[in-house]
Structure 1
Amino acid sequence: MFISNQKEQFNVAYVHAIASQAGLNTGNMRVDDQSIDLDVDGKIPTATKNRFPKISLQLKATSQKMVKNGVIKFPLPRKNYDDLKNDRLIVPRYLIVLLVPDDTDDWIQHHAQHMSLHNTCYWASIKNDPSVKGRSKVTVDIPLTQRLNTVSLLHLVTLASEGKCA
């Protein structure tokens, strides 16, 4: 398997694990023509508007050193940028970037009572970012404070239940 495919599959597994802990459903897109790799939805008992909200995720994984001054500087293909930025969407879309170690042997550590996944996912909403023209890639700044974990994933889905996007 190509390393790019390994990163993609590991990223899907990582987000699936977080969603499972949060009690949310995930669904993979069969064709990624709208820059959506994974949908996340579920019942939110505290929701006031939509009790079954959904968010869509564009997953990216990299072992490159892209962190500068507490921000991931991620070069996103222009098509993905435009698809995620689209302001005419009902379902909020987020960019999810998983930083992985260079060596695939370091992605998962097996222990006697558990296993651990390395490293960490981060999320960004680029809905309100500026429009760009004439570039094939757009660098998206993702603050390291926007770590994707169970609490933050539930927060993003809860926002969607209120008709909002982060």
Structure 2
Amino acid sequence: MDLAQQKEQFSVAYIKAIAAQAGLNNAHPSVDDDSIDLELIGKDFKGILRNPKIELQLKCTSRDLLNGNVIKFPLSLKNYNDLRGDNVLCPRYLAVLVIPENVQDWVEYKDEELILRNSCYWVSIRNHPKTYNKTKVTVDIPLKQRLTKETLVELMTLASKGEYL
């Protein structure tokens, strides 16, 4: 497996681990033609939708993209256009996992714990403007928007109410 495939698999495993802790189910579209890598589904939420869903485009990078309090992530134009706009059934988010450069540092094994490194951040680009770029769009992802169990529950609660960020 090449490095890009390893990063893809690691980002899916990372999000699935957080989703499991949050009590969310997941589905993996068999064809990624709409920039959705993973769907997360809630159950028994109290909003207008009892089983809300959010969709995620996952990216994984070991490059230094930090600039102040944001990650400046170069997103392909296709992904950008697929994730923006409000004409979709459920909320869509970009999730970027920042990992160490060395593959051996991604996971640490101890007798009573397994540590996954480093952190994942999320952003909604739903309301971002149309762009005239030809290949990529740099998206700012605030470091304060760390993807955690609590964040996933919050995003799912909003989705159950028919709300988006």
Give TM class, smaller chain. over 0.9
Contact 2:85 2:127 in 1 (8 A): no
* Identity level (%): 51
Distance in 1 between residues matched to 2:77 and 2:163, nearest whole Å: 24
Which SS does the other structure have where 1:132 is aligned? coil
Query: Which stretches in structure 1 are left out of the alignment for 5+ residues?
Result: none
Structure 1 equivalent of residue 102 of structure 2: 103
Which SS does the other structure have where 1:156 is aligned? helix
Matched, 1:28 2:24: no
Per-residue deviation, residues 22-77 of structure 1 (Å, max 9, x unmatched): 000011111100000000001143x2200100000000000000001010000000
| Alignment root-mean-square deviation, CA | 0.8
Structure 1 equivalent of residue 2 of structure 2: 2
Distance in 1 between residues matched to 2:162 and 2:104, nearest whole Å: 41
Normalising by structure 2, what TM-score? 0.98
Contact 1:44 1:158 in 2 (8 A): no
After the TM superposition, which residues 73-84 of structure 1 pair with which residues of structure 2 at under 5 Å, given as runs? 73-84=72-83
Distance in 1 between residues matched to 2:10 and 2:42, nearest whole Å: 22
Structure 1 equivalent of residue 155 of structure 2: 156
Structure 2 equivalent of residue 64 of structure 1: 63
Contact 1:44 1:51 in 2 (8 A): yes
Structure 2 equivalent of residue 18 of structure 1: 18
Contact 1:62 1:97 in 2 (8 A): yes
Q: How many residues align?
A: 165
Which SS does the other structure have where 1:95 is aligned? strand
Distance in 1 between residues matched to 2:163 and 2:30, nearest whole Å: 26
Structure 2 equivalent of residue 43 of structure 1: 43
Distance in 2 between residues matched to 1:157 and 1:122, nearest whole Å: 16
Matched residue type, 2:36: I
Contact 2:77 2:133 in 1 (8 A): no
Matched residue type, 2:6: Q
- Kindly report structure 1 stretches of 4+ aligned residues shifted beyond 4 Å: none
